[in-house]
Amino acid sequence: MKVENFAKILNADFYTGVPDSQLKALCNYLMHTYGIDPKHHVIAANEGNCTALAAGYHLATGTAPVVYMQNSGEGNIINPVASLLNDKVYAIPMIFVIGWRGEPGIHDEPQHIYQGEVTLKLLEDMGIRYFVIGKDTTEEEVSAAMQDFRKELDRGEDVAFVIRKGALSYEEKVEYHNDNPMIREEIIRHIVQASGEDPIVSTTGKASRELFEIREHNGQSHKYDFLTVGSMGHSSSIALGVAVQKPGTKVWCVDGDGAVLMHMGSMAVLGSTAPKNMVHIVINNGAHETVGGMPTVAANIDLVAIARACGYPNAVSVTSYEELDRELTAAKERNTLTFIEIKCGIGAREDLGRPTTTALENKQNFMEYLKECRYVG
């Protein structure tokens, strides 16, 4: 189904969401049609943020907005759906468009499997009526479903369209780029060299895939790395938990700008805890690259100032490999919490692979390695 026709059926004037590869056609359509426009289209920090923003739109206009997300974002909307939108509270109508990763019977990555199994049940538990769109779904069927949904929306209830892989198409190409010269995979190669045998917690998406392949290329063990394949935005908190329990071991977190934005409150907790043995690195390309390249707001904000305000005693931003190596060496030797923002270009190798070990094997190997790490009370 052409996404333009889907948008016409929705007949909405405001969209907000977090990009998803399953919804790439919709995301590209919105970027091509509106770009980032506060009146019509906002890429928000997380799905709960989207829901609240859309609620404000409804309060101001009286019309139903569209919130789009990957199904992994359902967890982030449960609270605002139950305690803000629900018809027992404020009865705020909303149209959710949800990319269905991990659909049962469709091969997908491990972090999507259970989420895919419970996607529809979560909607049912939240009282959200849904319609599933697949490759063979006709425009007439979608139009009829939307017409039926209007009754729920008029009563202040919420509805959802669940989008199967390949269900939406868009012919216009949208290119995403920036002027930063450094490449993420090479950046991670420098981090691996500087960190030595220190444990690394890496964020979801291509960063963890690149870290895995760098270890393979170097002939190194994967026991040093915890690859946060899901749970976007929580890598720094995982690293904090490790660092506090292993104060004699330097712990590195390789984070991304989209992930940091998704749960930025964790930086305040990290800064106030201030573990002396942790390095928090944010590779900032200003994009949700793993799911298509749509922009984040990280290119327009001062992450270093935010880190300092949160209590990080050392916070810097680098734009060259020379600066990066200097700061990595200093962070390795320093005995205080360090924040390093690395400005990065958009793009990855087309032949970038995926981890060949299971998530459970990754956890077990990492935990066994942590047992070897020094404890200094």
Which residues make Cβ contacts (< 8 Å) with residue 249, sequence separation at least 6?
Answer: 198, 199, 243, 277, 370, 373, 374
Amino acid identity for residue 188 in this structure: I
Supply 230's token pair: 């899901």
Mean pLDDT of 332-354: 95
Between CA 118 and CA 234 the distance in angstroms is: 21
Asked whether the predicted pLDDT for residue 375 surpasses 60, the reply is no
pLDDT in tens, 57-71: 999 999 999 999 999
CA 204 to mean position of chain CA atoms: 7
- Report the C-alpha gap between 19 and 30 in whole angstroms: 11
């020094």: which residue's tokens?
374
3-state SS assignment for residue 27? helix
Q: Please work out, in degrees rounded to the nearest 5, the angle formed at the alpha carbon of residue 38 by the alpha carbons of 289 and 153.
A: 95
Q: What is the pLDDT of residue 376?
A: 44
pLDDT at 373: 85
**Residues 216-262: pLDDT tens digits?**
999 999 999 999 998 999 999 999 999 999 999 999 999 999 999 99
CATH class, range 3-163: alpha beta
Phi, psi at 254, each rounded to 5°: -100, 105
pLDDT in the model for residue 213: 96
Q: Which residues contact 7 (CB under 8 A, 6 or more apart)?
A: 26, 29, 33
Q: How far is the C-alpha of 198 from the C-alpha of 209, rounded, in Å? A: 18
Q: Is the pLDDT of residue 366 over 90?
A: yes
Tell which CATH architecture fits domain 184-372.
3-Layer(aba) Sandwich (3.40)
- Round the average pLDDT of the chain to a whole number and report it: 96
Distance of CA 318 to the CA centre of its chain: 23
pLDDT at 377 over 60: no
Give me the mean pLDDT over the 288-294 stretch. Answer: 90
Interval 166-225: pLDDT, tens: 999 999 988 899 999 999 999 999 999 999 999 999 999 899 999 999 999 999 999 999
The burial class, CB within 10 Å (0-12 / 13-18 / 19+), for 350 is exposed
Residue 362: phi, psi to the nearest 5?
A: -60, -45
Domains 3-163 and 184-372 share a fold: yes
pLDDT digits (tens, 9 = 90+) for 108-154: 888 999 999 999 999 999 999 999 999 999 999 999 999 999 999 99
- With a cut of 50, say whether residue 6 has pLDDT above it: yes
What's the pLDDT score for residue 374? 65
Q: What is the mean pLDDT of residues 42-63?
A: 98
CA distances from 43 to 30, 37, 245, 370 (A): 10, 9, 36, 38
Q: Where are the domains of the chain?
A: 3-163, 184-372
Q: How far apart are CA 288 and CA 134, in angstroms?
A: 25
The half-sphere exposure of 152 on its side-chain side, counting CA atoms within 13 A, is 19
Specify whether the CB–CB gap between 310 and 270 falls below 8 A.
yes
Percent of the chain with pLDDT over 90: 93
Q: Measure CA of the first residue to CA of the last residue in the chain; give whole Å.
A: 61
Tell me the three state secondary structure of residue 71: helix
